Amino acid sequence: MSGEAEPLIHGNSSEQRNYAHDDAEHEAAQQQSRALRVRTIVWSLLGLLFIVGIVIGLVGPDYYADHGWSGALPKDPDLAARRLLDMAPVIDGHIDLPMVARYGWRNNVSAIPLHDKMPMHVDIPRLREGRVGGFFWSTYVPCAGSSAEGKKFLNATWRVRDTMEQIDVAKGLIMKYPETFQYAVSSADVKDSIFQRKIASLLGVEGAHQLGNSIAVLRQYYDLGVRYVTLTHVCHNAFADSCGYIDMISPLHHGLSPLGFKLVEEMNRIGMLVDLSHTSDMTATQVIMHSKAPVMWSHSSARAVHNVARNVPDEVLRMIGTGEGQKDGIVMVNFSPAFVAPEGEADVERVADHVEHIARVVSKKHVGIGSDFDGIMDTPKGLEDVSKYPNLVAELFRRGWNKYELAGLTGGNFLRIFAAVEDVAHKLQSEGALPVYDVYEEREDMPSRRVGEAL
Ligand SMILES: *[C@@H]1O[C@H](CO)[C@@H](O)[C@H](O)[C@H]1NC(C)=O
Ligand SMILES: *[C@@H]1O[C@H](CO)[C@@H](O)[C@H](O)[C@H]1NC(C)=O
């Protein structure tokens, strides 16, 4: 009996047996339904294989970089860039949309029209046109300035309030457009967002001046979803020295302060990415040597291509990598014309020069994109807003970058660093590393020693 011979295909075989007789019509009907079921199963299996293939290809551990997708890119650079970005969309390390919300709309999320043409560089139609798969929403507030914060940085604690407001406005906008944005706090979340064709939305705090001198605040920012803290902005703070802006400023701590070293340790333990954009060369060097986890520059370019303090010098770039004595890391290239080229010369080719320089000194696996859109007043020719990323990809394709290298640049390299930072945190926590409870020694609002501690 066919019902007994192929129980897997026919399902309930006892039911089959009850109805089995010599009726030819019935036999034909049965054969037809059998064929239908076989077809259904084959198609289901094929469908499953297809989904598994997509999952492995798109969101598997080697997403982008090693096992990409089959087929060559088109010969035409613009078509190639779009095709590439459809598979491996941009993950931008630094976008200042929350700042536009603060200064343009007093943070009224309800009033901000992200489906319309926004005044600066970012809105939903242009994000889609530019094939953006994720970005860090910078929850930046400015340095208070030395007259307001006092010499020991003790006074500007309202900057913690302001940072909270920027976290709030970022989250409000992410939640206002759930069909576009997906809140993300892990490398797995980012991959999932991209798989769902949403824009992974991560939070970054742009300067340890936003911590109110407190490592406890760092931990609470992490709990609020923040996944990188830039160690400085354009001012020094209690933890670390800044590089200044165009010209270098003279050091205060000569790199990290003692509390700054502790901050880095705690960032490693909790899985907060250490962002070295804006830091002085000494700060960057000390962090690279001290950090147990890979480091990032969320929005910095190459000083050898354009000599300004904000760019990363070759001596520091050479400390990055996977060789002996090096630390893994990523430099996400900034588009700000002031950092890209002499006045009036910034364009997509010059930005590509920065990408290629970093790729030459470190490797193509250590470079990414950190446009600084919405945080810069002007933009390079050809990279006017978030719809223009394909121009940069096309330019590098013209220069011979292959699809895996390009996919690393657009997002894969960042995901590798992010996942490695998460791994270090898991390891440290599973080894029982204790939280860092050091208190800034200049604080006057806490007793200078704890109960029972010797004088
Ligand atoms: C915020 O924006 C909404 C929508 O435009 C408006 O109805 C509301 O009054 C605004 N709130 C404030 C405090 O301006
Ligand atoms: C900082 O705060 C302290 C204590 O309230 C005050 O004495 C000092 O004048 C303030 N410094 C500045 C620069 O505002």
Residue 151 CA: nearest ligand 2 atom is: 13
Nearest-CA residue for atom 1 of ligand 2? 155
Ligand nearest to the CA of 112: 1
From the CB of 44, is ligand 2 less than 6 Å away? no
List beta partners, residue 134.
91, 200
Task: List, in order, residues 6 or more apart from 410 with CB less than 8 Å away.
Answer: 64, 84, 85, 88, 89, 90, 91, 368, 369, 389, 393
Residue 147 CA: nearest ligand 2 atom is: 13
CB 78 within 8 A of CB 390: yes
- Report residue 196 as tokens: 């769902």
**Three-state secondary structure call for residue 244:** strand
Taking the centre of ligand 2 as the mean of its atom positions, its distance from the CA of residue 238, in whole angstroms, is 16
**Residue (of 149, 95, 143, 160) closest to 123 by Cα position:** 95
User: How confident is the model at residue 231, as a pLDDT?
Assistant: 98
Phi/psi of residue 229, each to 5°?
Answer: -125, 125
pLDDT tens per residue, range 278-335? 999 999 999 999 999 999 999 999 999 999 999 999 999 999 999 999 999 999 999 9
**Residue (of 316, 150, 163, 301) closest to 237 by Cα position:** 150
From the CB of 176, is ligand 1 less than 6 Å away? no
Q: Which residues of the chain have pLDDT under 50?
A: 1-22, 55-56, 59-62, 65-67
Active-site residue set: 94, 96, 206, 233, 278, 299, 372
User: How confident is the model at residue 451, as a pLDDT?
Assistant: 86
User: How confident is the model at residue 43, as a pLDDT?
Assistant: 72
Run of H or E including 4: helix 2-5
**Three-state secondary structure call for residue 373:** strand
Taking the centre of ligand 1 as the mean of its atom positions, its distance from the CA of residue 117, in whole angstroms, is 19
Tell me the best of 110, 114, 173 to mutate to test the pocket of ligand 1, counting ligand atoms within 8 Å of each CB and taking the most.
Answer: 110
Per-residue buried b or exposed e for 45-69, using 16+ beta carbons within 10 Å of the residue's own CB: eeeeeeeeeeeebbbeeebbbeebb
pLDDT tens per residue, range 4-63? 333 333 333 343 444 344 455 555 566 677 777 777 776 777 666 655 555 445 544 345
Nearest-CA residue for atom 5 of ligand 2? 155
Got the DSSP string for 36-81? HHHHHHHHHHHHHHHHHHHIIIIISTTTTTTS--SSPPPSSHHHHH
Kindly report the length of the chain.
Answer: 455
Q: Domain 81-430: give its CATH superfamily.
A: Metal-dependent hydrolases (3.20.20.140)
From the CB of 36, is ligand 1 less than 6 Å away? no
List beta partners, residue 327.
320
What are the extents of the domains in the chain?
2-59, 81-430
Within 10 angstroms of residue 318's Cβ, the number of other Cβ atoms is: 12
List beta partners, residue 265.
none
User: How confident is the model at residue 51, as a pLDDT?
Assistant: 56
For tokens 């899985």, name the residue: 271
Ligand nearest to the CA of 152: 2
Task: List, in order, residues 6 or more apart from 174 with CB less than 8 Å away.
Answer: 137, 181, 182, 183, 201
Ligand nearest to the CA of 444: 2
Taking the centre of ligand 2 as the mean of its atom positions, its distance from the CA of residue 149, in whole angstroms, is 8
CB 204 within 8 A of CB 229: yes
CB 274 within 8 A of CB 231: yes
> How far, in Å, CA of 92 to CA of 383, rounded?
13
> How far, in Å, CA of 6 to CA of 35, rounded?
12
From the CB of 146, is ligand 2 less than 6 Å away? no
CB 407 within 8 A of CB 67: no
User: How confident is the model at residue 19, as a pLDDT?
Assistant: 39
From the CB of 155, is ligand 2 less than 6 Å away? yes
Residue 444 CA: nearest ligand 2 atom is: 4
Run of H or E including 358: helix 348-361
Residue type for position 313: P
